[in-house]
Structure 1
Amino acid sequence: MARIAFLSGLLLYVACSFHVSANDFHDRHADRESLPTVPDGFEVTVFASEPLVRQPCSMAFDARGRLFVGMGPQYRKPTPETPGDSVVILSDTTGDGRADTKKVFATGFNAVQALAWHGNDLWIANAPDLTVVRDLDGDDEADQYIRLYTDLGNLEHGLHGLNWAPDGKLYMSKGNSKGLTLPDRLAPKPFRELWGVESPAHAPDMPEPKVFSKENYQRSFHDPNDDWGLDGGVLRCNEDGTNLEIVARGFRNPWDITMDSQFNWLGTDNDQTGGDRIIMPFYGAHFGWNHPWSAHWTPDPHPPSAPVSGPLFEGSGTGVVFGDGLKFPLQYRDAFFINDWLNK
């Protein structure tokens, strides 16, 4: 319990102690070049900015230490005609600490909201799809696109938080947007169970993946204004996408999750008015959103729901990382850091 209390206290500091009113973001005379003020021992620098990048929403490093960034025009209200997002490789070729070149690794996606490398495969959350891409000839351009899952709901509360864990499985967080559930366009059964939707007669539990080349890749489109399902959750699958199962549920929009060095999970769950929650998902847990007989959001004691792991905070929690790097100041090592774009 002491360890959890310590993490919760540090999380509150990181996420909430430098609060900025939402109204402050409407100041047209603000210094666009200014950077956040950070505690002693940290430094913030700009590695890439427009026009080199456009709306970057996710990033991951490959085994060679190269930075891959998901970005593009898809978020927030795409139409079928909106150009696709891309995954690009950003490089600093001059050694000055700032990216000066980019190379398109893969393109044509719906809104890219999470990236995760597994061996030579890059897994991409691009709601309503989960896509795996591979560079087969070593030219730094993906040649094969595998649409592993589809019909996973719209991008607003879509698929996020891709994490490979020590048990060899991919863990993913999913908001409560639901699929269309058509005979020729079906999400795997565990997603349908999360949303509480009826499946067509004789629907397979795991629809077959579809394989494309880079020349004929086709993303799926899902209207961002479509309706919501029952709840969101954390799921996991094998490295080939099989054996998909729900780990925890009762979330509204868990944008990201990550684990510490002891395989303890932590993430955030977004709400519009009730405050964002800090969560520690575990197998079989229900965290209260649309609980079948006792729905609950606040952290007060509530036997049917798993407790949250910190006070609610007025913000918008997105990316979560576990900081165990030796270059971090000692007091900030072995702690979770939450990115919250409504707070400094």
Structure 2
Amino acid sequence: MLNLRLSVLLGALVVSSLAGCAQLDRGSDDEPPELNLPDGFRSEVLYSPMKMDSSSWVSLATDGKGGLFASDQYGALYHVSIPPIGSDPEDTEVTKLDLELGHAQGLLWAFNSLYVVVNSEEGISGRSSGLYRVTDTDGDAVLDSVHALTHFEGWGEHGPHGVVLGPDGASLYLVAGNHTELPETYEPVVPQVWQTDQLLPSLRDPRGHAADRQPPGGWVVRTDSLASKLELISVGYRNAYDLAFSADGELFTFDSDMEWDLGMPWYRPIRVLHVTSGSEFGWRTGSGKWAEYYPDNLPAVAEIGQGSPTGVVSGKDAAFPRKYRQGLFIFDWSFGTIYHVTLKARG
């Protein structure tokens, strides 16, 4: 259980979240940010990486024992020991892991291992973008061995991102942005018919952003604990950062907009998407994006507006009131906002 907490990537700020939305008051450089929360909720600052050493943590994962693993965007991995609720938050202990691995944007504890999605052209000790498995080989409760499972070609803000465990307890799901090439080898579940086949030539971004990126854009793959094979299950994203399974075992993500397209007919706002097997969401560069009414393109579950999507967390394991456990918490970096999305089955 997450007890009464959600771990949020705002300097390891931990918060009990909301019905509609919570917003961040960024405060001053000397004071931690505050969240404007609905009545009955409160937040605690456990640790502020930016205040301590100017690092920027971009991924968190539970360790199965009440603690967290964390990653600096351009640096090392950390373990966070969290004091019990009701105790002094300053008792939080942060330990840098003694591993030649970092630059991670996805972390997951599963199969008695830490899975790490590295997002970097060079990485640490040459460990560039890819999926890595970190284990404790001698049983001393210290992670000491790094094994590369698969390589990804792509890095940066639109590179490889999150990894989550499937509801079957045996599968891993990974998401990558549209500047990440498809894996070298994969088994397609998605029909591979993603040509840019529109009547009029696409109007590409005049500043050159993603002008050379080809379909199918960002993608989601499914694999096993050893990454023995990758199944391409969904494509057509711009830059979805994270994934989460709902209480019903359905997979969702939160995709980004191209803010420079605002006001254009092809603009697509940030939106929650239902990641069904074999789905295509129609990202194409410039004006070539598919409209929602295309029959081979799935529409959004919810459209939010402008922003920069980051984390997605299911409420199913949180000790929150029932209405929160049935939905998703989604996080917007641009405006420092947490949204709760209520999910209702239809069809």
- 3-state SS in 2 of match to 1:176: coil
CA contact (8 A) 1:169 1:237 kept: yes
CA contact (8 A) 2:214 2:284 kept: no
- 3-state SS in 2 of match to 1:98: helix
In the alignment, the residues of structure 2 paired with residue 146 and residue 61 of structure 1 have an alpha-carbon distance, to the nearest angstrom, of 20
Query: Which stretch has the larger CA shift, 32-41 or 58-67?
Result: 32-41
Q: In the alignment, which residue of structure 2 is the partner of 1:89?
A: 79
Q: In the alignment, which residue of structure 2 is the partner of 1:6?
A: none
CA contact (8 A) 1:115 1:122 kept: yes
RMSD: 3.4
Q: In the alignment, which residue of structure 2 is the partner of 1:205?
A: none
Q: Which runs of 5+ in 2 are unaligned?
A: 1-16, 120-128, 195-209, 260-266, 338-347
Once the two structures are superposed, what CA deviation does each residue of 1:199-236 show, in whole Å capped at 9, x if it has no partner? Answer: xxxxxxxxxxxxxxxxxxxxxxxxxx996453111110
Query: Which stretch has the larger CA shift, 105-114 or 128-137?
Result: 105-114
- 3-state SS in 2 of match to 1:235: strand
1:302 aligns with 2:291: no
Report the alpha carbon displacement of residue 271 of structure 1 after superposing the two structures with TM: 2.2
1:46-125 correspondence to structure 2 within 5 Å: 46-49=45-48, 50-51=51-52, 54-71=55-72, 74=74, 85-92=75-82, 95-125=87-117
Summarize the Cα distance change of 1:111–1:227 in structure 2 as closer, same or farther, 3 Å threshold: farther
Q: In the alignment, which residue of structure 2 is the partner of 1:339?
A: 331
Report the alpha carbon displacement of residue 55 of structure 1 after superposing the two structures with TM: 0.8
1:280 aligns with 2:274: yes
Which of 304, 314, 317 is residue 322 of structure 1 equivalent to?
314
Q: In the alignment, which residue of structure 1 is the partner of 2:219?
A: 233
CA contact (8 A) 1:133 1:142 kept: yes
- Of structures 1 and 2, the one with the larger relative CO (CA 8 A, separation 6+) is 1
In the alignment, the residues of structure 2 paired with residue 285 and residue 264 of structure 1 have an alpha-carbon distance, to the nearest angstrom, of 13
Report the alpha carbon displacement of residue 126 of structure 1 after superposing the two structures with TM: 0.6
1:311 aligns with 2:310: no
TM-score normalized with structure 2 length: 0.70
Q: In the alignment, which residue of structure 2 is the partner of 1:44?
A: 43
Q: Which runs of 5+ in 1 are unaligned?
A: 1-12, 75-84, 182-186, 197-224
Once the two structures are superposed, what CA deviation does each residue of 1:125-153 show, in whole Å capped at 9, x if it has no partner? Answer: 11212111111124443221111111331
1:258 aligns with 2:249: no
Once the two structures are superposed, what CA deviation does each residue of 1:69-98 show, in whole Å capped at 9, x if it has no partner? Answer: 1115x1xxxxxxxxxx22211224694123
Once the two structures are superposed, what CA deviation does each residue of 1:99-134 show, in whole Å capped at 9, x if it has no partner? Answer: 543222253335211101112111001121211111
In the alignment, the residues of structure 2 paired with residue 284 and residue 260 of structure 1 have an alpha-carbon distance, to the nearest angstrom, of 18
TM-score normalized with structure 1 length: 0.70
Summarize the Cα distance change of 1:42–1:124 in structure 2 as closer, same or farther, 3 Å threshold: same
In the alignment, the residues of structure 2 paired with residue 310 and residue 226 of structure 1 have an alpha-carbon distance, to the nearest angstrom, of 27
1:164-243 correspondence to structure 2 within 5 Å: 164-167=165-168, 168-179=170-181, 187-190=183-186, 228-230=213-215, 231-243=217-229
Summarize the Cα distance change of 1:286–1:35 in structure 2 as closer, same or farther, 3 Å threshold: same
CA contact (8 A) 2:107 2:117 kept: yes
- 3-state SS in 2 of match to 1:113: strand
Report the alpha carbon displacement of residue 57 of structure 1 after superposing the two structures with TM: 0.8
CA contact (8 A) 2:247 2:325 kept: no
In the alignment, the residues of structure 1 paired with residue 313 and residue 233 of structure 2 have an alpha-carbon distance, to the nearest angstrom, of 20
1:239-250 correspondence to structure 2 within 5 Å: 239-250=225-236
Once the two structures are superposed, what CA deviation does each residue of 1:291-313 show, in whole Å capped at 9, x if it has no partner? Answer: 9xx94355x42212111111242
- 3-state SS in 2 of match to 1:51: helix
**In structure 2, what residue type is equivalent to 1:190?**
Y
**In structure 1, what residue type is equivalent to 2:171?**
K
Summarize the Cα distance change of 1:270–1:42 in structure 2 as closer, same or farther, 3 Å threshold: same
In the alignment, the residues of structure 1 paired with residue 186 and residue 305 of structure 2 have an alpha-carbon distance, to the nearest angstrom, of 30
Sequence identity percentage: 28
In the alignment, the residues of structure 1 paired with residue 76 and residue 187 of structure 2 have an alpha-carbon distance, to the nearest angstrom, of 26
Equivalent residues, number: 279
CA contact (8 A) 2:171 2:225 kept: yes
Report the alpha carbon displacement of residue 322 of structure 1 after superposing the two structures with TM: 0.9
**In structure 2, what residue type is equivalent to 1:333?**
R
Summarize the Cα distance change of 1:88–1:110 in structure 2 as closer, same or farther, 3 Å threshold: closer
Once the two structures are superposed, what CA deviation does each residue of 1:277-296 show, in whole Å capped at 9, x if it has no partner? Answer: 210011111111139xx943
CA contact (8 A) 1:53 1:71 kept: no
